[in-house]
């Protein structure tokens, strides 16, 4: 009996261990897709000079990437709902590798935009898979932590990846920056192949593929998507124009240092979120929205340099864990109905996330040109308040702890 009990306990312990190599591989995939989306902003002068276009035209490399993701994430997720997840993820990553390599070698502006759009399409499909993948290979009760590990690639891309890519672009050339991403992507494909376990597809031939309308009717899903739009929109409005704001505050020489402080705070946030998300999803989401709202309100109220520094750190603490929180909330809400609903919810989230990023850049630019930089901070704070209200009023379904019923788990491929 003692030997049997020991074996059972050891087996249970093994099952509770997170699959770190697989999750880190997924996190690196998130890192390269997030980095590639925003990398043109860091090498914009070099791209402008090399391609012979204006800064505004070169900046559209970010827009078309986001558009590729926003326009195709939902239809591609629906069309591939019956395909096994691992081959689909590897296929999407391979297309991303080809498109990013074409970006690095683009002979002209038109080819560059086509390559960026294709990269955005591939990244959108990968993003629609990644959070659900992390959730399904995690032990019961640790799904949120698994998603947090996978989503750590987002703040790492902002705080480390873009500065590193910018440095490469300045020293060697912008094409070298994208080529470096392709090298990492090739390694990630091998890493996923050997480290990530296969899981079953979310639907079978007998199951109907969930539509966007059916998914949004699931309790809590629509509220989560509203928060995605308002939170990401508010963040982008101020983040896209943080350099002009800091110049306005007399901190033009400290832009890099403040963004570094913001990035470090993001990393602290995602670490803390990963440790506690499976028990305190709603509380962490409320805290994130509160910190973001207070930080942007401080930006709007004063340009006192000490306050700006503190607000930047608070903003990072609020924002760092947000992708994980929203992805986890969408997954939890969808899994109450079926894994297929959860995957469709992730596709909707990816679409709305990228649409909000694109719209945030436009709105922020209009406010900056027609009013002043303070208007950007006010708009961001107002959107933060709205997000906070939605989270507060819809916590029962939208930001609740995961349902642990056995039906929500996915069996591995055999």
Residue 223, C-beta contacts closer than 8 angstroms, at least 6 positions apart: 390, 394, 397, 398
The pLDDT of residue 396: 73
What gap in Å lies between CA 177 and CA 169, rounded to an integer? 6
Per-residue pLDDT tens over the stretch 4-44: 444 444 444 444 788 999 999 999 999 999 888 878 877 77
> What pLDDT band is residue 355 in, cutting at 50, 70 and 90?
confident
pLDDT, position 300: 94
Confidence of residue 242 (pLDDT cuts 50, 70, 90): confident
Q: Token pair 């990846």 is at which residue?
A: 161
Query: How many CB atoms within 10 Å of residue 211?
Result: 12
Q: In angstroms, rounded to a whole number, what is the distance separating the alpha carbons of residues 413 and 329?
A: 26
Mean pLDDT over residues 375-394, rounded?
94
Residue 404's pLDDT band (cuts 50, 70, 90)? very low
Written as six digits, the tokens of 108 are: 């002209």
Alpha-carbon gap, residue 127 to 73, rounded angstroms:
8
Cβ atoms of residues 127 and 228 within 8 Å: no
* pLDDT computed for residue 255 by the predictor: 74
Per-residue pLDDT, 10: 40
Q: What is the pLDDT of residues 88-110, one digit of tens each?
A: 999 999 999 999 999 999 999 99
Range 344-350 average pLDDT = 85
- Please write down the HEC assignment for all residues of 106-129: CCCHHHHHHHHHHHHHHHHHHHHH
Q: pLDDT band at residue 399, thresholds of 50, 70 and 90?
A: confident
CA atoms within 13 A on the CB side of 326: 29
Q: Give residue 410's pLDDT.
A: 43
Overall pTM surpassing 0.85 (yes/no): no
Mean pLDDT of 152-171: 77
Summarize the confidence of residues 171-195 as an average pLDDT. Answer: 94
Give the C-alpha separation, 94 to 313, whole Å. Answer: 37
CB 350 within 8 A of CB 128: yes
Range among 67-76, 115-124, 146-155, 255-264 with highest mean pLDDT value: 115-124
What integer pLDDT is reported at residue 203 of this predicted model?
56
Mean per-residue pLDDT, 111-129: 92
- The C-alpha atoms of residue 367 and residue 392 are separated, in whole angstroms, by 29
Q: Please state, in angstroms and rounded to a whole number, the distance separating the CA atoms of residues 130 and 73.
A: 13
Taking all residues of the chain, what is their mean pLDDT, rounded to a whole number? 84
pLDDT in tens, 295-310: 999 999 999 999 999 9
pLDDT at 56: 66
- Which residue blocks in 196-304 are alpha helix, DSSP H? 212-216, 221-239, 242-248, 255-301
Q: Which residue in 241, 237, 198 sits closest to 90, CA to CA?
A: 198
pLDDT computed for residue 4 by the predictor: 47
Q: What are phi and psi of 63, to 5 degrees?
A: -65, -45
Q: In the chain, what is the straight-line distance between the N-terminal and C-terminal CA atoms, in Å?
A: 32
Residues of the chain by 3-state class (helix, strand, coil), percent to 5: 80, 0, 15
């Amino acid at each position: 009996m003692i030997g049997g009990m020991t074996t059972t306990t050891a087996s249970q312990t093994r099952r509770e261990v997170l699959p770190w190599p697989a999750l880190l591989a997924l996190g690196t995939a998130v890192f390269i897709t997030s980095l590639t989306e925003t990398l043109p902003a860091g090498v914009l002068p070099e791209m402008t000079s090399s391609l012979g276009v204006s800064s505004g035209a070169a900046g559209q490399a970010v827009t078309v990437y986001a558009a590729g993701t926003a326009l195709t994430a939902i239809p591609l997720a629906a069309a591939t709902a019956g395909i096994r997840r691992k081959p689909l993820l590897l296929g999407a990553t391979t297309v991303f590798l080809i498109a990013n390599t074409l970006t690095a070698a683009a002979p002209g502006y038109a080819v560059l935009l086509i390559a960026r759009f294709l990269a955005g399409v591939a990244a959108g499909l990968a993003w629609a898979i990644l959070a659900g993948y992390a959730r399904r290979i995690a032990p019961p009760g640790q799904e949120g932590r698994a998603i947090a590990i996978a989503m750590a690639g987002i703040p790492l891309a902002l705080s480390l990846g873009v500065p590193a890519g910018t440095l490469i672009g300045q020293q060697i050339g912008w094409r070298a920056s994208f080529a470096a991403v392709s090298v990492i992507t090739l390694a990630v494909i091998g890493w996923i192949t050997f480290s990530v376990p296969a899981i079953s597809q979310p639907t079978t031939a007998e199951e109907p593929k969930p539509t966007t309308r059916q998914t949004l009717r699931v309790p809590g899903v629509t509220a989560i998507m509203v928060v995605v739009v308002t939170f990401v929109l508010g963040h982008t409005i101020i983040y896209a124009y943080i350099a002009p704001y800091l110049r306005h505050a007399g901190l033009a020489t400290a832009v890099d240092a403040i963004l570094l402080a913001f990035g470090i705070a993001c990393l602290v946030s995602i670490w803390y979120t990963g440790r506690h998300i499976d028990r305190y999803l709603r509380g962490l989401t409320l805290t994130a929205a509160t910190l973001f709202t207070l930080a942007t309100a401080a930006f709007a109220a004063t340009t006192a340099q000490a306050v700006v520094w503190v607000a930047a750190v608070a903003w990072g603490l609020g924002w760092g864990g947000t992708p994980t929180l929203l992805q986890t909330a969408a997954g939890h809400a969808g899994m109450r109905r079926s894994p297929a609903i959860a995957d469709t919810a992730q596709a909707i989230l990816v679409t709305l996330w990228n649409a909000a990023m694109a719209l945030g850049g436009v709105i922020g630019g209009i406010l900056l040109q027609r009013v002043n930089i303070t208007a950007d901070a006010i708009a961001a704070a107002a959107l933060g308040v709205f997000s906070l209200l939605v989270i507060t009023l819809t916590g029962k379904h939208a930001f609740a702890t995961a349902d642990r019923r056995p039906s929500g788990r996915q069996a591995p491929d055999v």
